[in-house]
């Protein structure tokens, strides 16, 4: 077999590309590439190093191969996905598990042998006539104990170009590590393509779209799709591999941003936060005046008894819907800069500029988007209006172009984490900000207890609470109970555990009016920064510690020069006992019926909290003002 793969590489790569690959002294890398060159049968193979010339080759190929089109700004391009290829395909995204392995009923899986047989059949000769791009990357900073090396095989220069913006180059890391590299593997083909307008091509055979995750060999397979969530393998697909690896090795992979909050006298304290979609995660990471280290995925390690974390990525694949100059100044400025940007599934106007839903200014009357030639009032085959941009339209950029970029992101040691935040969309239960009693209480009642209400825009029915522990349910590659236990065990190994907080930006009064302003989240962060440094007192409640009015009043004045009224404080921080008890009952039922391996401590913590709530209600009633505690 060894002689066979050596011969495949020599005959299929050509002298220059073969020479580049042979600089990496790792037979597993060579075998992996040879195996899928033989199976997928590309017309040409390009081995990409970290050089500017090779990276430019990928950018040029994205235009040449019609994965991207040029825009009026020479540093901006646009990409379209097929009309029905606009999001992660949850149904066709499956774990391939050996017989006898079960991840639980919440996780989509199939027999590994059957899955490999099917995906190999789909990928047989799928690259005929296509060029295969072989890319090398690092997840996390280079030359770090956090680093995970990756090899990406793809025939989409758009995917390769996106990953060049989103991830650190890794060819030289592979050269340096040689046989020591333990790497993640990604195999992607967009498959047969068809015209989509603007001379762009999109994947055609959506019935053969597959995204399969093989935990045994740490391989991701993706076929007949272009949408980034299905194809940019180093993102949420690699996250699944990393969660599995971390579980075995005693560290954590989390769906979290990392932000630096500026405190008094030049102090900076770093926080991590996990929020489900549409709950304010990106807007929190991007708060003007603070520092962004990462917006999506983080690795956590115990270093000398403290939590250190890194941003797995170096760029942002962000939702563009609704970004405007008033509410999103930092992103707006970046999207109107001359820096390198990829827009996807937005509207391209006749003068080759872009428009997205919610952008400043009047909506254009015509242009091209993911549906082809577009005009105002255009409808799809179901009679639904086709908006100028898709609601999941995206932008891709390198974080260095952001004004609040924090260069500590590249520190191989990561950043010291002082606080962990969990936030969901909750109209009637959680107060705007609260600190847990300790690590275990925070992980269970706030992290493992995370729920988020749906919006009418997403599911057509508003207010349905969706269980989403640590905002990571869609990406777990281990059973939920083990995932919760791993978080608890991680905290027990720390000599100085971060404080754990919950936030809720969506609290309403009995008439349905918002009790928080969208900018208040910065005040909650400022209070958390004071708490982790011992500079603010708090009020103990049955569910955790809440701020004192005087501290928030001062922070509003110092931060926004705004008066914070006592009556607003009371409305926001009243403890709603019936709603909190209902939440505990829901969680106990979920962990008894949907999570079969729930650690006993989960029920103990929830029962203890129920007891404290019932005791306080007997003394003070159903709705308790912070001034009564």
161 in helix, strand or coil? helix
Contact 259, 405 (CB under 8 A): no
Q: How far apart are alpha carbons 19 and 47 in whole angstroms?
A: 9
Contact 104, 596 (CB under 8 A): yes
Residue located via tokens 């913006």: 165
Burial 141-166 (b: 16+ CB within 10 A, else e): bbebebbbbbbbbbbbbbbbbbbbbb
487, 474, 383, 505: which is closest to 444 by C-alpha? Answer: 487
Distances (CA, A) of 26 to 30, 170, 178, 288: 7, 14, 5, 45
Q: How far apart are alpha carbons 32 and 151 in whole angstroms?
A: 9
Q: How far apart are alpha carbons 476 and 297 in whole angstroms?
A: 13
DSSP-H helix ranges across 351-445:
439-441
Q: How far apart are alpha carbons 605 and 501 in whole angstroms?
A: 16
Catalytic residue among 138, 150, 279, 363: 279
Exposed/middle/buried for residue 519 (C-beta within 10 Å: 0-12, 13-18, 19+): middle
363 is catalytic: no
157, 309, 138: which is closest to 238 by C-alpha? Answer: 138
Indicate left, alpha or beta for 526 from its phi (over 0: left) and psi (-120 to 50: alpha). Answer: alpha
Q: How far apart are alpha carbons 245 and 139 in whole angstroms?
A: 13
Enumerate the active-site residues: 279
């Amino acid at each position: 077999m060894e002689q066979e793969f050596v011969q495949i590489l020599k005959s299929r790569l050509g002298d220059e590309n073969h020479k580049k690959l042979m600089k990496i002294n790792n037979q597993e890398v060579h075998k992996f590439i040879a195996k899928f060159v033989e199976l997928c049968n590309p017309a040409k193979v390009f081995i990409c190093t970290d050089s500017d010339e090779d990276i430019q080759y990928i950018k040029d190929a994205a235009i040449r191969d019609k994965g991207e089109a040029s825009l009026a700004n020479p540093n901006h391009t646009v990409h379209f996905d097929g009309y029905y290829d606009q999001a992660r395909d949850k149904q066709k995204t499956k774990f391939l598990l050996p017989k006898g392995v079960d991840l639980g009923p919440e996780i989509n899986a199939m027999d590994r042998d059957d899955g490999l047989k099917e995906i190999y059949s789909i990928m047989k000769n799928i690259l005929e006539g296509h060029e295969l791009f072989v890319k090398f990357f690092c997840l996390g900073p280079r030359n770090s104990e956090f680093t995970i090396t990756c090899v990406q095989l793809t025939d989409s220069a758009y995917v390769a170009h996106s990953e060049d913006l989103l991830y650190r180059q890794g060819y030289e890391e592979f050269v340096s590590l040689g046989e020591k590299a333990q790497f993640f593997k990604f195999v992607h083909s967009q498959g047969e393509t068809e015209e989509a307008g603007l001379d762009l091509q999109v994947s055609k055979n959506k019935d053969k779209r597959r995204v399969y995750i093989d935990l045994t060999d740490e391989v991701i397979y993706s076929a007949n799709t272009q949408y980034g969530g299905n194809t940019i393998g180093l993102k949420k697909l690699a996250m699944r591999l990393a969660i599995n690896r971390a579980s075995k090795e005693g560290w954590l992979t989390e769906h979290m941003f990392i932000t630096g909050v500026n405190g008094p006298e030049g102090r900076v304290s770093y926080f991590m936060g996990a929020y489900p979609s549409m709950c304010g995660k990106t807007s929190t990471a991007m708060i003007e005046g603070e520092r962004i280290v990462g917006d999506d995925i983080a690795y956590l390690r115990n270093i000398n008894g403290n939590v250190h974390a890194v941003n797995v990525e170096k760029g942002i694949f962000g939702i563009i819907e609704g970004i405007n100059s008033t509410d999103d100044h930092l992103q707006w400025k970046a999207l109107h800069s001359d820096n390198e940007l990829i827009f996807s599934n937005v509207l391209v106007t006749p003068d080759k500029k872009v428009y997205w839903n919610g952008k400043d200014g009047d909506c254009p009357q015509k242009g091209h988007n993911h549906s082809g030639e577009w005009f105002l009032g255009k409808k799809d085959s179901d009679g639904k209006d086709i908006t100028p941009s898709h609601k999941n339209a995206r932008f891709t950029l390198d974080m260095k172009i952001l004004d609040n970029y924090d260069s500590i992101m590249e520190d191989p040691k990561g950043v010291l984490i002082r606080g962990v935040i969990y936030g969901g969309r909750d109209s009637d239960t959680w107060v705007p900000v609260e600190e847990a009693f300790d690590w275990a209480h925070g992980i269970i009642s706030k992290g493992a207890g995370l729920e988020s209400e749906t919006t009418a825009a997403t599911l057509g029915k508003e207010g349905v609470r969706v269980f989403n522990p640590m905002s990571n349910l869609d990406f777990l590659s281990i059973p939920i109970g083990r995932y919760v236990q791993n978080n608890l065990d991680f905290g027990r190994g720390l000599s100085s555990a971060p404080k754990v907080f919950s936030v809720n930006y969506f609290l309403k009064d009995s008439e349905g009016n918002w009790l928080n302003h969208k900018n208040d989240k910065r005040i909650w962060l400022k209070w958390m920064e004071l708490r982790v440094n011992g500079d603010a007192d708090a009020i103990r409640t049955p569910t955790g510690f809440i701020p004192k009015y005087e501290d928030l009043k001062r922070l509003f004045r110092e931060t926004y020069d705004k008066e914070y009224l006592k009556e607003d404080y009371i409305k926001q921080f009243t403890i709603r006992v019936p709603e909190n008890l209902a939440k505990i009952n829901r969680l106990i039922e979920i962990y008894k019926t949907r999570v079969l391996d729930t650690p006993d401590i989960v029920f103990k913590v929830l029962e203890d909290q129920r007891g404290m709530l019932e005791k306080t209600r007997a003394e003070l009633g159903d709705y308790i003002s912070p001034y009564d505690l």
